[in-house]
Amino acid sequence: MKYSGWPEPGELVVGKVDEIEDFGVFIDLEEYEDKRGLVHVSEVASGWIKNVRDHVNVGQTVVCKVFDVDEGSQQIDLSIKDVNEHQRSDKIQDWKNEQKADKWMSLAFGEEMTDEQYTQIANELYAEFGSIYDGFEQAAIHGAEALENTELSDDEIDSLVETARENVSVPYVNVTGYVDLRSPGKDGVDGIKEGLKAAEGNGDIPDEVELDVTYVGAPEYRIKVRAPNYKTAEAQLEESVARAEVAMEDVGGTANFHRDRHTDDE
């Protein structure tokens, strides 16, 4: 799906070179429906240009900055030279992401989805997340909870979450810490087991988080957390340690956290 409106001055747009003339380059805008812009020869590249075709080719995908928009004359003035490499790379990636998201919309709601339904769902995702792709990514990470502030129906949310979790590759981070569990007395082993269960969350860990507690060497255990971002990962690590501390105190033991490993051999 493409935008039906007009780009704004200063906006970066993705286009395909459609026609090359001595005075400039005509660009078909990939993100806007039936919109075409012109890059004057002076805006193709820095410096003096002998031949425009030395800088662009028909069919080439380019990123342009919008200079001016005249809806009355149906004219969009563009610049290629005013887009630096970092901007170009980021814009192309965003564009590719939205193309992926467009396919995911079809997977979620079927090829027979009407333009009205697409627009309604897309607008909800744009309003909440800034893009359709980011909406799918958050749905993959947080499930239905990510979409609870939208006006989407329960069925629409279920379809989005299911499709997101089947198709979106979510970036994850890992954090690791260590805890020494000690429980004196004849029931010390059972006390350690209770501490481990508590550290592991007793099955009550968010869907987007993976948390593993493994034995390193008495009395040391490794806590490894995999989560969508460092803030969540660190919070889950802290909560794991806090649960272990409470459980060990209940059996007269201790749980001491440290960031680096103490035991030499596993």
Tens of pLDDT along 106-122?
Answer: 999 998 889 899 999 99
Residues in the chain: 266
Q: Is the pLDDT of residue 174 over 90?
A: no
Of residues 219, 266, 212, the one with CA closest to residue 237? 212
pTM of the model: 0.64
For tokens 């030395």, the residue is: 54
Tell me the per-residue pLDDT of 142-156, one tens digit each, with 9 for 90 and over. Answer: 889 899 999 999 999
The tens digit of pLDDT for each residue in 20-72 reads 999 999 999 999 999 999 999 999 999 888 899 999 999 999 999 999 999 99
By the 10 Å C-beta count (0-12 exposed, 13-18 middle, 19+ buried), 138 is classed as buried
